[in-house]
Amino acid sequence: MSTPRISHRKIDHIKICATRNVESGRTNGLEDILLVHRSLPEIDMEDVDTSCIFMGHRLSLPFVIEAITGGTRQAERINQRLAAAAEKLQVAMGVGSQRIAIENSALERSFRIVRETAPSAFLIANIGAPQLVAGYGPEEAKKAIEMISANALAIHLNTVQETIQPEGEPMAEGVIDKIREIARQVNVPVIVKETGAGISAEEAVRLKAVGVSAIDVAGVGGTDWARVEGYRNNGRVKKSGMKLFFGWGISTAASIVEVKQTTDLTTIASGGIRDGVQIAKAVALGASGAGAARPLLSAALSSFVSVEQVIRTISEEVKTAMFLTGSKTVADLRQVPLVIFGNTHHWLTERGFDTEEYARRK
C-alpha cells in the first residue's frame, strides 16, 4: 500500500476517533468487578504510593498511554504532547503503527520526536501482525525499536479491523512463527497487543510458548475499530452483514482473567479504560498496569496541559481507590479482595474458570 494512502487513513482515524461515536456497544466488563471497601484502611491517604515497577522500569503510576498515531504532521504534534506528559509524569507510552515510517524514512520524525521529548520514559515501539504475514521480520522490528530507542516492542493484532477496513489486509497465516522469530532476535521485550477484541487463554498460552514477554489484552469495551472503519466507508461496510461484528470479542475484564489464570506473563489492561477506578480494578484482577488511548487523543488535540490534567486526574482516582481498599502500595492493591459477578462471572464460568477461587488466589 502506498505511503499517501496510509497517511490519509491515519488522518481519517484521528478525525473519526475525535469527533464520532466509536465506542463499542458493549462494556469492558469492569463494572462486574467490585473491590471490597475497607472502612478501617489503617493507612493515611498521603502515604499511598501509586508508583510501581513495570517491565523493569519504575513508573509513578501503573499507566500506559496506549498506541495512538504517527506518520503525519498532525501526529507529530500529538506524539510530542503525549511524550512530554509521559516524561513529566513518569508513565509509559506506546506509539502507533510504525509501518508508514519503516517504508518511508522521511516520515520517521513523527515517531522520533517521542524519544527526543521523553528521554527517560518507558516507550513501546509498534508493528502490525498483517505486515509480518506480508514479509516483515526481525529487520523491520529492529528498525521500529531503533526509531524511538524503545524499551519494548508491541506487535498489534487487528483481525477484526482488517476484515472490515475498505483497504484491509485480513491475513494471519504464519503470524505465530513470525512472532517467535522476532522475540528471539530483538533485544527488548515483545508485547503482543490486541486492538479491541481481547485475548483468550488459548492464545495467551501460545504466545508465552513463542517467547512473548507481555500481553496487552485490549478487550471489547472501548474504541471499536470496526465502527471506525465503517465511518471511513461513508457509514457502510464493504461486505453485507459486517455490522454483525461491531462489538466482537472478549471483554477487557474477562480477558485479564483468561491471560492471568493460564500464564505468568506481564499483562496490560486496555479496552475502554476511562478512569482511575477501572485501573485499580484491573490491577486488583492481576494486570501489571492499564492503558488508555482515546481520552488522551482528545486531550492531545488540544494541548500538553490537557494531557497532563487527564493523567493527573486518573492518578488521583487510583490513589483514592487504593486508600479505600487499604492499599498502601500497588503490590498491596494486587492482593485486595474482590468480587466478580454479572456477565463477566457468567462468561468465565462458562469458559471453565472458577471466579471465586481466582478472586482468592490471583
Confidence of residue 255 (pLDDT cuts 50, 70, 90): very high
- Residue 9's pLDDT is what? 75
Domain count, the chain: 1
Model confidence at 361: pLDDT above 80: no
Model confidence at 198: pLDDT above 60: yes
Name the grid cell of 304: 500538553
Nearest to residue 307, comparing CAs of 60, 65, 30?
Answer: 65
Mean pLDDT of 184-199: 97
- Residue 285's pLDDT is what? 97
Model confidence at 16: pLDDT above 90: no
Mean pLDDT of the chain: 93
For the chain, what percent of residues have pLDDT higher than 70? 95
The enclosing H or E element of 253 equals helix 252-262
- Residue 1's pLDDT is what? 58
- Domain with residue 138: its CATH number is 3.20.20.70
- Residue 92's pLDDT is what? 98
Asked if 333 contacts 278 with a C-beta cutoff of 8 angstroms, the reply is no
Name the grid cell of 307: 494531557
Q: CA-CA distance, 353 to 356, in Å (whole number)?
A: 9
Mean pLDDT of 12-34: 88
For the chain, what percent of residues have pLDDT higher than 90? 79
Q: What is the reported pTM?
A: 0.94
- Residue 360's pLDDT is what? 74
Asked if 215 contacts 193 with a C-beta cutoff of 8 angstroms, the reply is yes
Model confidence at 241: pLDDT above 70: no
Beta bridge partners of 290: 63, 269
Mean pLDDT of 8-17: 79
- H helices of 43-195, in order, are 73-89, 99-103, 109-117, 129-134, 138-148, 159-164, 175-185
Q: CA-CA distance, 67 to 47, in Å (whole number)?
A: 32
91-125 pLDDT per residue, tens = 999 999 999 999 999 999 999 999 999 999 999 99
- Residue 287's pLDDT is what? 98
Terminus-to-terminus CA distance in the chain, angstroms? Answer: 45
- Residue 207's pLDDT is what? 98
Q: Which domain holds residue 28?
A: 3-361
- Which residues are CB-neighbours of 306 under 8 A, at least 6 positions away? 298, 299, 300
- Residue 2's pLDDT is what? 58
Mean pLDDT of 71-77: 90
Sign of CA dihedral 235, 239, 243, 247: negative
Mean pLDDT of 147-164: 94
- Residue 230's pLDDT is what? 77
- Residue 17's pLDDT is what? 79
Model confidence at 311: pLDDT above 90: yes
Mean pLDDT of 173-179: 96
